[in-house]
Chain A
Amino acid sequence: GENVEQHPSTLSVQEGDSAVIKCTYSDSASNYFPWYKQELGKRPQLIIDIRSNVGEKKDQRIAVTLNKTAKHFSLHITETQPEDSAVYFCAASLYNYGQNFVFGPGTRLSVLP
Chain B
Amino acid sequence: DSGVTQTPKHLITATGQRVTLRCSPRSGDLSVYWYQQSLDQGLQFLIQYYNGEERAKGNILERFSAQQFPDLHSELNLSSLELGDSALYFCASSVLPLGETQYFGPGTRLLVL
Contacts and interface: CB of A to CB of B under 8 A. Distances in A.
Interface of A: 31-32, 34, 43-46, 49, 51, 89, 93, 95-106
B102 to A, nearest CB: 7
B98 interface: yes
B23 to A, nearest CB: 12
A106 B42 contact: yes
Contacts of B50: 98
Chain B's interface size range is 20 to 34
B90 A43 contact: yes
B104 A105 contact: no
Contacts of B107: 43
Q: Chain A contact residues: over half helix, strand or loop, or mixed?
A: strand
Interface in B17-66: 33, 42-45, 48, 50, 54-58
B58 A100 contact: yes
Contacts of B54: 98
B46 to A, nearest CB: 10
A98 B48 contact: yes
B45 A100 contact: yes
* Chain A to chain B: the 7 pairs with minimum beta-carbon distance, closest first: A98-B56, A98-B55, A43-B104, A101-B45, A100-B56, A103-B43, A95-B98
